Structure 1
Amino acid sequence: MTVIYLDESGELGFANGSSKFFVIATLATNNAKRLKNRVRKAKKKILDAGWPIEEEIKGTSLFGCQRRYDLSEEFKKNRDLHIENFLKAVLFDEIKIHYSIVRKSCIKDHIRQAEYGIAYNFFTGKLLTRSYNHFEGSIDLIVDQRNKETHHKLPFDGYIKTQIIGECGHSERFSISHMESHDVVGLQAVDFISWSIFRNYEHNDDRFFKMIQPYVGCCDNWYAEK
């Protein structure tokens, strides 16, 4: 069985000041228990160092913590080390990362102008079908239920199931769950993955991206200039 955790970074809007890139990332594993145990240990170290216990640990908030007054200077000085240690816990031999990188200026007009939600469904479906050969057996896809892009008017679940079953010939069990990230360690893990990828492309900062590169299986590249 393969468990796939899915997250995104950036946004698909085109307002002034919005991101140049959009990232969809999946963290796939056939050993979700080991991932959970490793990440829990990494989280405990960050909490013991002073992170507020009631606040979810996310890549973007951890990286930007130097602007906070409720954390010690020692914690803020070691922010990169905390991120690196978290990523080391996520990255082990029984996981594989697949991601889609979209330069938004290259999105075709018919996708750009389509009803809200179509672009997200399209890019997610392409990523999952192109990385399908890396999955084994039944599939559990877990998505952060706060993801604003999975719009109720354009059902995400039905589209994705159609792509996996119709395009890939998947015949075993395939479930999709929308869950709160603070309840699911795997969603917290893929948050750091998608953030690291986004930071590489959006901000030309590859410090954390270099750590995950050896674990990348499929890169679905929508990056070419028009």
Structure 2
Amino acid sequence: MPIYVYIDESGDLGFNLNKSSAYFIVTALFVSDFSKLDKIIKKLKKSSFQKEFIRHGELKGYKSSTKLKITALKKLNEIENLKILHIILYKEDLFSVCLRYNSIQLYNLIATIVAEYIPFENESLEVQIDKTKAKQSLRDEFDQLFSEKLFLFSSCRLQNDVISHSDSKHWSGLQFADLLAWSKYQEIYHKNSIFINCIDDSKQEEYHVTEKSFKRKNKMEP
């Protein structure tokens, strides 16, 4: 059985001092049995949160109620072999003008850092990322860079050499990845740890992005 990887983000890649977010966070959720995520969502939909799911259609960081978010996050602690990876960019640390004005390239460079820090060894990975790119050519660019980094930095490999770009409404793993990225943003920027602290620290890791991060050539570099 593969390890299932779900990737989503919080924040934006703009650099307008008055309108843009201060941070951009990519979160990857790793789980060996995706059906356990499905079961959590199904139970929540049949509980007192039923009306919320009818109204919003899915679990969402910026839409769901505080009670629903906390309940859902705490349920993740019950899943064995679950890991969470946060990739964090503080925009003031990014000085490259080229990257500041090329959001697609910047997104790819940040999001594919996930491939450099896979918390498993010698596993087959089934990767799903929230669908943000409309053009197939842009999705292909991301897939190629992710695969290259996986080859350089990890003993894991993509199952069937495929990365799925999917609508989160249809995938519980992407809904949880969205909620986790949102929760990390609340902690980092708003100093509100009530959500991310619902998850055991032993299940989470984080890496802070600098421009040097984009130039790593092998696993041994810091």
Under TM normalisation by the shorter chain, which class is it?
0.7 to 0.9
Give the match for residue 55 of structure 1.
56
Provide the alpha-carbon RMSD of the alignment.
Answer: 2.7
Q: Distance in 2 between matches of 1:21 and 1:220?
A: 13
1:167 pairs with 2:168 = no
What amino acid is the match of 1:95? Answer: L
What amino acid is the match of 1:145? Answer: K
Contact residue 49 and residue 68 of structure 2 kept, 8 A? no
Shift of 1:30: 0.6
Contact residue 199 and residue 206 of structure 1 kept, 8 A? yes
* SS in structure 2 at match of 1:61: coil
Pick the aligned partner of 1:188 from 154, 175, 195: 175
What is the number of residues matched between the two proteins?
Answer: 206
1:117 pairs with 2:118 = no
* SS in structure 1 at match of 2:182: helix
Which stretches in structure 1 are left out of the alignment for 5+ residues?
Answer: 63-78
Cα pair distance change 1:151/1:194, threshold 3 Å: farther
Post-superposition CA distance 1:147-179 (Å, at most 9, x none): 68x982881111101110233254563421011
1:102 pairs with 2:89 = yes
Pick the aligned partner of 2:67 from 81, 86, 110: 81
More displaced 10-residue stretch of structure 1: 35-44 or 203-212: 35-44
Give the match for residue 199 of structure 1.
186
Cα pair distance change 1:85/1:24, threshold 3 Å: same
Post-superposition CA distance 1:4-24 (Å, at most 9, x none): 000000011112321101110
1:9 pairs with 2:20 = no
* SS in structure 2 at match of 1:219: strand
Cα pair distance change 1:4/1:22, threshold 3 Å: same
Give the match for residue 137 of structure 1.
123
Q: Distance in 2 between matches of 1:122 and 1:178?
A: 17
Give the match for residue 76 of structure 2.
90
Post-superposition CA distance 1:198-223 (Å, at most 9, x none): 11112111111111252444311138
* SS in structure 2 at match of 1:18: coil
Which stretches in structure 2 are left out of the alignment for 5+ residues?
Answer: 211-222
Q: Distance in 1 between matches of 2:133 and 2:180?
A: 16
Q: Distance in 2 between matches of 1:146 and 1:128?
A: 18
Cα pair distance change 1:166/1:193, threshold 3 Å: same
More displaced 10-residue stretch of structure 1: 189-198 or 135-144: 135-144
Q: Distance in 1 between matches of 2:48 and 2:15?
A: 35
